């Protein structure tokens, strides 16, 4: 379809929006497909009433994180998003886990410790992604209580994003991916006296227990391009343009066949006088969007705290809260750390997550 325009429109998206008006992007294929920008007198988030199952959802995961837990919150055929809390205890180094349902990604929200794997030891602390490919055996051994956001990739494997025009070292350099260390692992196991002898294997969400007579972590060497790794937010280099707001896809960290994971990190705000500084109102028509608030000041939302998670299903526009639009004027920097998961197909809410939901979230765009 060729581009067409009428009435008041802008030459460049997200820039020089007429005073007193709002821009709304309606786009296909998650910021990569056909899109239009509507200039409106009011944001479309000014709904007075929503009846029916489709509404923005918000979950406060802090109570769930407070206890040892492994709980699914959102899911569909391709992915499962959950919370996991592991406390330091001697049993951790006796047991191992193997996920035969898919690649397992952990994002450490709080805590620190090590992952033991057949490939070596990985250290983690808050802000680390730990990516464990499907069926690779691992044990989480926390040094302090550890809270993870988990994203299970059930129908593909995690890959790096296509960095296109900005080159292969942008966003994060592959040298920043931390690899498992076999020497550290062997020293660690020696300090423990022994390693795990039990493996819990998950396949079709059912657990099978394997038991051995000696430690399963007995690898003496390996080579290959399949292994667990970590990536810390401190080693990520967010893209920005000082002239025009970039779409969320500029912050892609990992891609799967049917979803992407993006990381929003502190960065300078756009400095051009006529640049939009808050995220633009939009309908990401083909995707359900999940945002986990890790830490910092969440500048585009009101009344949020770290440990919350929102779900904005496809089917309606969303964007910044009215207070954020007003307060952005004096700001020059964002200070937010958030993980976004955009799913190509609709997500369902696990029935166990009902008690974590803030039922009035859909009203939060109303001016106060
Ligand atoms: Fe969005």
Which CATH fold topology does 67-233 show? Answer: Jelly Rolls (2.60.120)
* CATH class entry, domain 22-58+242-363: mainly beta
Instruction: Give CA–CA dist 121/185, Å, rounded.
Output: 5
Instruction: Give CA–CA dist 102/92, Å, rounded.
Output: 22
CA of 346 to the centre of ligand 1 (A): 14
Residue 297 pLDDT: 84
CA of 20 to the centre of ligand 1 (A): 22
| Residues found in the chain | 368
CA of 43 to the centre of ligand 1 (A): 14
CA of 201 to the centre of ligand 1 (A): 35
The pLDDT profile of the chain, 368 residues, written as one tens digit per residue, is: 789 999 999 999 999 999 999 999 999 999 999 999 999 999 999 999 999 999 999 999 999 999 999 999 999 999 999 999 999 998 888 999 999 999 999 999 999 999 999 999 999 999 999 999 999 999 999 999 999 999 999 999 999 999 999 999 999 999 999 999 999 999 999 998 888 999 999 999 999 999 999 999 999 999 999 999 999 999 999 999 999 999 999 999 999 999 999 999 999 999 999 999 888 899 999 999 999 999 998 766 777 899 999 999 999 999 988 877 777 777 899 999 999 999 999 999 999 998 999 999 999 988 76
Residue 322 pLDDT: 80
CA of 353 to the centre of ligand 1 (A): 22
CA of 18 to the centre of ligand 1 (A): 22
Instruction: Give CA–CA dist 348/133, Å, rounded.
Output: 24
The token duo for 319 is: 């964007």
CA of 219 to the centre of ligand 1 (A): 44
CA of 97 to the centre of ligand 1 (A): 34
Residue 368 pLDDT: 63
CA of 171 to the centre of ligand 1 (A): 20
CA of 244 to the centre of ligand 1 (A): 17
Beta strands in the chain (DSSP E): 22-27, 35-40, 57-60, 69-75, 79-86, 95-99, 103-117, 120-125, 128-132, 138-153, 198-203, 206-211, 229-232, 252-255, 259-264, 281-284, 288-297, 308-312, 335-343, 348-349
CA of 17 to the centre of ligand 1 (A): 19
Rg of the chain (C-alpha set):
22
CA of 319 to the centre of ligand 1 (A): 7
CA of 110 to the centre of ligand 1 (A): 25
CA of 213 to the centre of ligand 1 (A): 51
CA of 32 to the centre of ligand 1 (A): 14
The structural domains of the chain, with segments of one domain joined by +, span 22-58+242-363, 67-233
CA of 134 to the centre of ligand 1 (A): 29
CA of 25 to the centre of ligand 1 (A): 10
CA of 5 to the centre of ligand 1 (A): 24
3-state secondary structure 71-136: EEEEECCCEEEEEEEECCCHHHHHEEEEECCCEEEEEEEEEEEEEEECCEEEEEECCEEEEECCCC
**The pTM of the whole model exceeds 0.75:** yes
């Amino acid at each position: 379809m060729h581009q067409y325009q009428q009435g008041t429109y802008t030459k460049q998206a997200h820039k020089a929006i007429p005073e007193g008006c709002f821009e709304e992007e309606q786009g296909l294929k998650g910021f990569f497909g056909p899109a239009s920008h509507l200039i409106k007198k009011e944001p479309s988030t000014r709904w007075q009433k929503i009846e029916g199952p489709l509404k923005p959802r918000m979950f406060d995961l802090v109570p769930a994180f407070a206890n040892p837990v492994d709980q699914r919150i959102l899911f569909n055929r391709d992915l499962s998003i959950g919370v996991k809390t592991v406390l330091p205890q001697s049993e951790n180094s006796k047991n191992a886990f193997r996920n035969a349902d898919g690649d397992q990604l952990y994002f450490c929200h709080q805590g620190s410790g090590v992952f033991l794997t057949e490939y070596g030891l990985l250290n983690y602390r808050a802000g680390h992604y730990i990516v464990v490919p499907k069926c690779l055996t691992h044990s989480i051994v926390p040094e302090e209580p550890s809270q993870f956001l988990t994203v299970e990739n059930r129908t593909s494997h995690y890959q790096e994003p296509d960095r296109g025009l900005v080159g292969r070292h942008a966003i994060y350099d592959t040298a920043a991916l931390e690899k498992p260390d076999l020497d550290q692992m062997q020293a660690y196991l020696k300090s423990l006296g022994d390693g795990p002898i039990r493996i819990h294997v998950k396949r079709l969400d059912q657990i099978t227990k394997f038991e051995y007579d000696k430690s399963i972590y007995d690898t003496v060497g390996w080579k290959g391009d399949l292994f667990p790794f970590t990536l810390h937010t401190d080693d990520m280099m967010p893209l920005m343009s000082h002239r025009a707001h970039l779409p969320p896809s500029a912050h892609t960290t990992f891609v799967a066949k049917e979803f992407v994971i993006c990381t929003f990190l502190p960065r300078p705000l756009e400095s051009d006088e006529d640049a939009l500084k808050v995220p633009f109102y939009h309908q990401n028509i083909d995707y359900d969007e999940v945002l986990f608030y890790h830490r910092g000041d969440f500048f585009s939302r009101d009344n949020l705290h770290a440990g919350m998670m929102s779900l904005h299903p496809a089917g309606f526009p969303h964007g910044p809260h009215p207070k954020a639009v007003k307060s952005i004027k004096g700001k020059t920097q964002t200070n937010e750390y958030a993980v976004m998961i955009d799913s190509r197909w609709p997500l369902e809410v696990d029935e166990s997550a009902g008690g974590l939901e803030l039922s009035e979230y859909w009203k939060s765009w109303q001016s106060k």
